[in-house]
Amino acid sequence: MNCPHCDAFCGNGEGMVIDSRHTEHGIYRRRNCRMCGRRWSTTETIYRPSGCVLRDDEPPAPFDVERLRASLDRACWKADVSTDALERLAGGIASGLGRPYMTVSTEEIGEAVLAELRTLCPIGYVRYASTFRRLTDAAGFMTILSGLIEKAEEKASARPPDLKT
């Protein structure tokens, strides 16, 4: 690495590392110039590329797991769902969809969230679906609710009856 002091004047100063430490922000290195003897510090971080999200009328943006987590928090607000369960859900969806250099549409993310929320929190499922599917009337809500009721009835009928002796 070139010395920022010598580089500004003649560009010949080369720096050598005299101390290196791992910190929470990356690798902290203390350097010394062989030409002028001045010292300076650098911090090196690992670049972890994220996936890219394609939105309808916006330019592509990096996949943000915190944004996904915030939408799950809003959907499951005041529902009986633990914070850890929501973090696991967001992390699972992020690991499946947010791989480096992968391009994902908002529809794929939304469908993955709905598939997981249907079993985790029916109230959160209805809230998220109303926003994701842009429901504007009661008929749309009734469609979502009837699907949830059918699933619950199937689950109840598949369960063995309680045997009381």
Task: Say if 1 falls within a structural domain.
Answer: no
Please write the tens of the pLDDT for every residue from 118-165: 889 999 999 999 999 998 889 888 988 888 888 878 877 876 666 665
- Give dist(CA 26, CA 42) in Å, integer: 10
Please state, in angstroms and rounded to a whole number, the distance separating the CA atoms of residues 45 and 119: 39
Radius of gyration over every alpha carbon of the chain, rounded to an integer in angstroms = 26
| Residues 154, 111 share a domain | yes
Q: What is the pLDDT of residues 16-65, one digit of tens each?
A: 889 999 988 789 999 998 888 889 888 888 766 667 888 888 888 888 88
Query: Does residue 163 belong to any structural domain of this protein?
Result: no
- Judge whether 73 lies within some domain: yes
CA distance 112 to 41: 44
The answer on 76 and 30 residing in a single domain is no
68-99 burial code (b ≥16 CB/10 A, e <16): bbebbeebbeeeebeeeebeebbeebbeebbe
Residues 12 and 64 in one domain: no
Is 90 in the same domain as 32?
no
Q: Would you give the end-to-end CA distance of the chain in angstroms?
A: 81
What's the rounded Cα separation, in Å, for the pair 120 and 160? 22
Output the CA torsion 145→147→149→154 (10° steps). Answer: -170
Task: Quote the domain boundaries for residue 15.
Answer: 7-44
Q: What pLDDT, on a 0 to 100 scale, did the predictor assign at position 35?
A: 82
Same domain, 91 and 120: yes
User: 131 and 83: one domain?
Assistant: yes
Residues 30 and 70 in one domain: no
**Whole-structure pTM value:** 0.62
The answer to whether residues 13 and 84 belong to one domain is no
111 and 87 part of one domain: yes
Q: pLDDT tens-digit profile of 55-84?
A: 888 888 888 889 999 999 999 999 989 999
Do 38 and 56 share a domain, yes or no? Answer: no
Number of domains, the chain: 2
- Looking at the fold, whether 31 and 107 belong to one and the same domain comes out as no
Whole-number Å distance between alpha carbons of 54 and 49: 16
Q: What gap in Å lies between CA 42 and CA 28, rounded to an integer?
A: 6
Residues 77-117 have pLDDT tens digits of 999 899 999 999 998 888 877 566 778 889 999 999 999 99
Q: What is the pLDDT of residue 46?
A: 76
Nearest CA to 36 among 61, 10, 62, 65? 10
Pairing assessment for the beta strands 103-105 and 52-54 based on DSSP bridges: parallel
